Amino acid sequence: MNPISCNGAFNLKYTVESGQPLTFHSQYSKRDNVEHLEYVTTKGKIEIRLSNSRLSYLSEGGYTRRSAGKEVMERFGLRDDLQDIYKRINTDPFMAKAISEFRGLRITQNDPWETTLCFIMSQFNNIKRIKGIIQRMIGEFGYEFDGIRLFPAPEAIAASDIARIRSCGTGFRDKYIRSAAEQFAHSFNPERLYGMKYEAAKESLMELDGIGDKVADCILLFGYGKKEAFPIDVWIKRVMERTYFNGRKRSVQKIHEFADLRWPGLQGYAQQYLFHYARSRGIK
DNA sequence: ACCCAGGCGGGCG
DNA sequence: CGCCCGCATGGG
């Protein structure tokens, strides 16, 4: 195993069980105080080990030791300075509790296409079921390489008929998935969004069929590392109204405006801590 | 048997 | 613009 270091606290369990894209195609286990994770990407397979705060990795498939190290650093946001982030988002007692409860939770940075597929799947769905669908899509459309079934490329799904996509259990999302796959394979250039500002990149994503305000923010946050993105789902809407608006209903637009003012540049980190805190407490 | 889950698009007033 | 509705599927 190759050692790797990170900038401050890192809690693998919170990060992996948090419903970020990694959740949908990785396997986490812990025994004898050793944590273990493996996942497939569009290039190969990565294994992570965490023991006594020592992090290490192994890779198979199309990775070199060096490129796998880069994959792990970037995937788990290990360059993010969590101490500084906590200082900047810790604006009130509620956030303070959320941070103290989930210290070490990091925002992962995933492949844009992989993130798009996972979050189109998330609409009107639940995390457990999303995971099953993604596993089946890897089985059905994943490319076999070195004995590893890799995460499906958009081309493989773009070339499929709708019924085969639906056979993975996607339900009504089948048409959105194929449409997005076609665009990623042909017309839509995902690389272009890295260099774009948050607002423009969001507009561009929302032109795709099946991608609205929330899914676009998820793709920008988890796929492009744009930390200004603040995905507003039912949990965030409820906890924000309850915590910052005296329990009164607010439009998604108003909530965005509030988050932008309160946690400028780090809305996404604030969102993750609020989200997991709200869910763990069952705040409704 | 029910109920609901990390939304979205389309139709309506 | 804001609201309301239907939508596939399967686990609790």
Average pLDDT over residues A9-16: 96
Structural domain span for residue A63 = 2-79
* A181 & A240 share domain: no
Residue with smallest Cα–C1' gap to C10:
A129
| Cβ of A166 less than 7 A from strand C | yes
Structural domain ending residue among the three candidates A173, A191, A224: A224
- Nearest nucleotide to A275 by CA–C1' distance? B6
Question: What pLDDT score was predicted for residue A120?
Answer: 98
Q: Strand B: which nucleotides have any atom within 7 A of a protein Cβ?
A: 5-9
Question: How many Å apart are A209 CA and C9 C1'?
Answer: 21
Residue with smallest Cα–C1' gap to C3:
A251
Question: pTM above 0.85?
Answer: yes
Average pLDDT over residues A18-36: 95
Residue with smallest Cα–C1' gap to B9:
A210
Instruction: Report how far residue A266's alpha carbon sits from residue A226's, in angstroms, rounded to the nearest whole number.
Output: 9
Render pLDDT for A68-82 as a digit per residue (tens, 0 to 9). Answer: 999 999 999 999 999
Q: Are A38 and A59 in contact (CB under 8 A)?
A: no
| Cβ of A234 less than 7 A from strand B | yes
Number of domains chain A is built from? 3
Render pLDDT for A93-109 as a digit per residue (tens, 0 to 9). Answer: 999 999 999 999 999 99
Is A28 a member of any domain?
A: yes
Q: Is A109 left (phi over 0), alpha (psi -120 to 50) or beta?
A: beta
Question: How many Å apart are A116 CA and B2 C1'?
Answer: 32
Instruction: Report how far residue A48's alpha carbon sits from residue A58's, in angstroms, rounded to the nearest whole number.
Output: 7
* A116 & A173 share domain: yes
Is A118 a member of any domain?
A: yes
Is A107 a member of any domain?
A: no
Instruction: Report how far residue A29's alpha carbon sits from residue A73's, in angstroms, rounded to the nearest whole number.
Output: 20
Question: How many Å apart are A251 CA and C1 C1'?
Answer: 12
Is A116 a member of any domain?
A: yes
| Cβ of A248 less than 7 A from strand C | no
Report which of A86, A66, A110, A70 is spatially closest to residue A8, judged by C-alpha positions: A86
Is A86 a member of any domain?
A: yes
